[in-house]
């Protein structure tokens, strides 16, 4: 990015201060009214309304609740900016004045509390802000900006739903796909890397079959609770004893359900687990080991039938294109002070963002924006207590609004302008 381009960028982002009050109001409104995956009708309507007001061609209902806005501004590259919209079935415990009190019905028919515990409310506000500023400063650039508000990231179905609904056929093919995520880290800082930035993820359900009996007569049973407990413990040995220390993986059993009464041995037990890996070969070995262990523990218990193993969802690796990532980083370093642009390692969080670039066969770049009060972060780091800061998906997760809000708008605009042609 040249000095002239950097000066033009600063001029266009100068309008951000005037826009901030409206963006903050939008953010707190979305935070107070979260919606579960594939149910984001209100959020999508807010995003669509803001895009129309800024002069975009808007298409709604893409992949059920997705929104696509196009701003055609002459000949030049096409840049896609993506934000996810969905919230989580988590009861908020932040104590914020705009905290969610929402309950909703999930796809199983259960009433659950809902919270933006992952920061997608911030993502929507960032993209609304960036799209608005890009429209206001269209005299400075040429090309096409495509703003994509995606449903269902938390269930790994939103990107796929938009693709299956004709995203690639109905809209122009971008030259680059750009996205970002708020994470624990000092607010105002941005962090990225070349190559793999988020892990692959696989969620599985293992249904173990036993034979029920009275709790006082265990000899008449094949106890699926014991079978499940043994399976859970043995699964932990995959990482500790089957992978080399240089190979990274995470296996988390998040749910173990069996029985309804203390003196009744049930017929079945259900384990739900999540796997994170950074390498396709490691992923295959881990999944094969899970199947082997589940079958072996069932056989060792004399189970009447093998376990039923059902995939629940899958996220692919998000892999930043080397040349595209370097271009974005150089733009960030030209705009931000050096201490605000950082290098990060791969994270075991997962995202379906990578589907757009991988399946469109175009480069994509994904990065992180810090959302933690810088003083709190520095104090926790100095006291070796970073693990006590509420992370994404925690009931206490709440980014500080400033400077998180303005930083995320700035990064999207700076990255987009690194690709779009300057006006001549």
What residues are annotated to the active site? 86, 153
State residue 384 phi and psi, 5-degree precision: 60, 45
User: 114-125 as b/e, with b when 16 or more CB fall inside 10 Å?
Assistant: bbbbbbbbbbbb
> Which residues, listed in sequence order, are joined to residue 422 by a DSSP beta bridge?
141
The candidate with the shortest Cα–Cα distance to 380, out of 391, 395, 392, is 391
- Cα 201 to Cα 264: distance, rounded to the nearest angstrom: 35
295 burial type by CB count under 10 A (0-12 exposed, 13-18 middle, 19+ buried):
middle
- Cα 327 to Cα 175: distance, rounded to the nearest angstrom: 13
What is the three-class DSSP state of 353?
coil
Pairing of strands 66-73, 111-113: unpaired
- Cα 45 to Cα 42: distance, rounded to the nearest angstrom: 5
Q: Is 309 left (phi over 0), alpha (psi -120 to 50) or beta?
A: beta
Question: What is the token pair recorded at 221?
Answer: 């049973």
The candidate with the shortest Cα–Cα distance to 69, out of 83, 59, 81, 82, is 59
- Cα 126 to Cα 347: distance, rounded to the nearest angstrom: 22
- Cα 322 to Cα 343: distance, rounded to the nearest angstrom: 14
The helix, strand and coil proportions of the chain, stated in percent and rounded to the nearest 5, come to: 40, 30, 30
What is the three-class DSSP state of 223?
coil
Question: What is the token pair recorded at 140?
Answer: 């400075």
How many Cα neighbours within 13 Å face the side chain of 153? 28
Task: Judge contact between 348 and 250, C-beta under 8 A.
Answer: yes
DSSP code for 239 = I
């Amino acid at each position: 990015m040249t000095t002239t381009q950097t000066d033009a960028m600063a001029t266009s982002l100068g309008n951000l201060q005037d826009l901030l009050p409206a963006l903050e109001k939008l953010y707190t409104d979305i935070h107070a009214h979260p919606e579960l995956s594939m149910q984001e009708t209100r959020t999508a309507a807010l995003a669509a309304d803001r895009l129309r007001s800024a002069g975009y061609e808007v298409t709604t209902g893409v992949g059920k609740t997705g929104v696509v806005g196009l701003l055609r501004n002459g000949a030049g590259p096409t840049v896609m900016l993506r934000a996810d919209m969905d919230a989580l079935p988590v009861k908020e415990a932040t104590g914020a004045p705009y905290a969610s009190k929402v309950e909703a019905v999930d796809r199983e028919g259960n009433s659950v509390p809902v919270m933006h515990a992952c920061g997608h409310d911030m993502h929507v506000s960032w993209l609304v802000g960036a799209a608005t500023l890009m429209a206001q400063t269209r005299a400075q650039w040429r090309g096409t900006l495509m703003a994509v508000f995606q449903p269902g990231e938390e269930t790994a179905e939103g990107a796929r739903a938009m693709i299956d609904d004709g995203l690639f056929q109905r809209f122009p093919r971008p030259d680059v796909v750009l996205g970002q995520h708020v994470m624990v880290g000092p607010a105002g800082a941005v962090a990225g890397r070349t190559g793999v930035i988020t892990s692959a993820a696989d969620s599985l359900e293992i249904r173990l079959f036993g034979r029920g009996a009275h709790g006082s007569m265990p000899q008449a049973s094949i106890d699926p609770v014991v079978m499940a407990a043994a399976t859970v413990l043995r699964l932990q040995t995959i990482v500790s004893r089957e992978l080399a220390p240089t190979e990274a993986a995470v296996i988390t059993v998040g749910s173990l359900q069996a029985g309804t009464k203390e003196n009744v041995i049930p017929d079945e037990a259900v384990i739900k687990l999540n796997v994170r890996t950074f390498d396709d070969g490691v992923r295959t070995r881990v999944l094969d080991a899970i199947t082997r262990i589940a079958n072996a523990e069932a056989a060792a218990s004399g189970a009447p039938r093998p376990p039923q193993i059902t995939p629940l969802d899958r996220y692919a690796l998000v892999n930043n294109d080397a040349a595209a990532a370097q271009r974005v980083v150089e733009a960030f370093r030209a705009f931000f002070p050096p201490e605000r642009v950082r290098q990060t390692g791969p994270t075991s969080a997962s995202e379906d963002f990578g589907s757009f670039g991988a399946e469109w066969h175009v480069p994509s770049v994904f990065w992180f924006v810090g959302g933690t009060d810088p003083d709190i972060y520095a104090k926790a780091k100095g006291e070796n207590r970073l693990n006590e800061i509420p992370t994404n998906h925690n009931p206490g997760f709440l980014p500080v609004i400033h400077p998180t809000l303005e930083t995320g708008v700035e990064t999207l605009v700076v990255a987009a302008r690194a690709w779009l042609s300057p006006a001549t």
